[in-house]
Amino acid sequence: MLTDAQCRNATCPPDKKRARLTDGEGLYLEVSPAGSKRWFWKTYQDGKEGRMALGSYPKMGVKEARMARSAAKAKKADGVNPVQARKLEKLKNTRISGDTFKAIALEWYAKQVPQWSDHHAKRVKAQLEKDLFPWIGERPIASIHALELLEALKRIEARGALETADRTLTVAKQVWDYWLPTADVQQRNITEGLKARLTPYSGKNFAAILDPKRMGELMRAIHAYQGGAIVRTALRLTPYLYQRPGNMRMMEWVELDLDAALWTIPSQKMKRTKEEKAKGQPHVVPLPTQAVQLLRDLHPLTGHGQYVFPGERSHDRPISDNTVRSALYSLGFGNEQKPHGFRASARTMLVDELNMDWQVIEANLAHSVKDANGTSYNRTKYLAQRFQMIQTWADYLDKLARGADVIAFKTA
């Protein structure tokens, strides 16, 4: 058994890599040529010798080293590998301070944000900072009760933001899913079942006219719109092309090939993740003859600039996202038809009234559809069929605007 004096006076000969002074029951003090001294406990696992570091001398004296050895032996007797237990403890100590909800949520956010669009990342960050952090942010996540989270969600509902409450619950669920695999305690995801305690929210549907007769009335109103040429053209093109309003208003002349009747929207402008934006293919939109003519007529007015539909105050920026919506309200259709709703109108009537192939429709909507092999199809695969479909759709809208088929009689 070692004494404190022996440990204090122990040295390592200069011709050796280290010297070991044995105490007992596998405990020994290792001395380096430089003079550092460390306690180790000899272990055996599957017939192989190993060792467990216990601490440095003189910070850990003989008595403390023996106590540490005894504690390690007790763990081993209980079936716990003390070396692995020590490693786990170190890993736990490296985690961010306190394991508060805010700390875990920000760690989760940092992992996800490279894959998100800037818009989505900004919205999630706002939900955390405005609706969750003020109420549960500083609480240890392991101690948060489901009722506390529900109370935070109810505050969102109280201001009438049902969609935000639903989205915030989804964010909270993802944070708990991220934390639970490394939690110190066995705990369920407290977000489970909370959706049933919120006011039902089934998702946001943009107002859309699905009745052909009413669509004809809208098209007649659009044709009679007396606004400026830029807004008038944007308004007339919206139902013909039924692309996302953001893509429509940010259309650039360089993206158009009017001779080929094609509009090529860069991947970076599409509703995709950052990775998909960087690596994805552009979305190619065929143009019906009506759209080509409208764009040719507008070109002398705005063709010298970047945007097809520049704003009134600055031609370096496109029209606002309220421009077409406001025009629809001025025509008396704002509550029935939103700009984004033309996508639903086209999707429904192309199937119900014109019996078009749903896969061709989805391709033109830039919706990702899985093929038989589980991979997303090439969005240009149905380009020929889409040319035919988009022309049929534009002709159908014009027919609805006329109210009936016009029959040309031969003249004498």
What digits encode the pLDDT tens for the residues 117-148? 787 889 999 999 999 999 999 999 988 999 99
Do 321 and 361 have their domain in common?
A: yes
Alpha-carbon span 121 to 324, nearest angstrom: 27
Tokens 């081993």 appear where?
A: 76
pLDDT of residue 267: 80
Residues of the chain with pLDDT > 90, as a percent, come to: 53
In the block, tokens 């979305």 appear at: 283
Tell me the residue range of the domain where 392 lies: 212-402
Tokens of 49: 């010798």
Give the end of a domain, one of 93, 112, 134.
93
304 domain-assigned = yes
- Pair 45, 72 in one domain: yes
Residue 145 phi, psi dihedral angles, 5° rounding: -90, 150
**CATH code of the domain in which 38 resides:** 3.30.160.390
CA 5 to chain CA centroid, nearest Å: 64
Give 386: exposed, middle or buried? Use CB within 10 Å, 0-12, 13-18, 19+. Answer: buried
165 and 264 belong to one structural domain: no
Lowest mean per-residue pLDDT among 17-26, 323-332, 388-397? 17-26
pLDDT above 90 for 219: yes
Whether residues 275 and 391 share a domain: the answer is yes
Whether 207 is in a domain gets the answer no
Domain identity same for 189 and 61: no
The verdict on pTM exceeding 0.85 is no
pLDDT bracket for residue 409 (50, 70, 90): very low
- DSSP class of residue 61? -
Tell me, yes or no, whether 314 and 281 share the same domain.
yes
Residues 237 and 324 in one domain: yes
- End-of-domain residue from the set 93, 124, 157: 93
Query: Residue 324 domain-assigned?
Result: yes
Give dist(CA 276, CA 2) in Å, integer.
66
Per-residue pLDDT, averaged over 227-237, amounts to 95
Same domain, 232 and 342: yes
- How many domains does the chain fold into? 3
- Name the band, by pLDDT with cuts 50, 70 and 90, for residue 185: low
Q: Does one domain contain both 171 and 232?
A: no
Co-location of 243 and 138 in the same domain:
no
Beta strands 48-57; 256-257: pairing state: unpaired
Q: Is residue 410 part of a domain?
A: no
Residue 408 located in a structural domain: no
What ranges make up the beta strands (E) of 74-134? none
In this structure, are 233 and 368 located in the same domain?
A: yes
**CATH number of residue 340's parent domain:** 1.10.443.10
Which of 64, 93, 122 marks a domain boundary?
93
Closest listed residue to residue 345, CA positions, set 287, 285, 397: 397
- Tally Cβ neighbours within 10 Å of residue 208: 19
* Maximal CA-CA distance, the chain: 130
Note whether 164 and 289 are same-domain residues.
no
User: Looking at residue 142, which CATH number applies to its domain?
Assistant: 1.10.150.130
CA distance 388 to 377: 19
Task: Tell me whether residue 409 is in a domain.
Answer: no
Judge whether residue 404 has pLDDT over 60.
Answer: no
Give pLDDT tens digits for 5-62. Answer: 999 999 998 888 889 898 988 899 999 998 899 999 888 777 787 888 888 999 999 9
N-terminal to C-terminal alpha carbon distance within the chain: 128
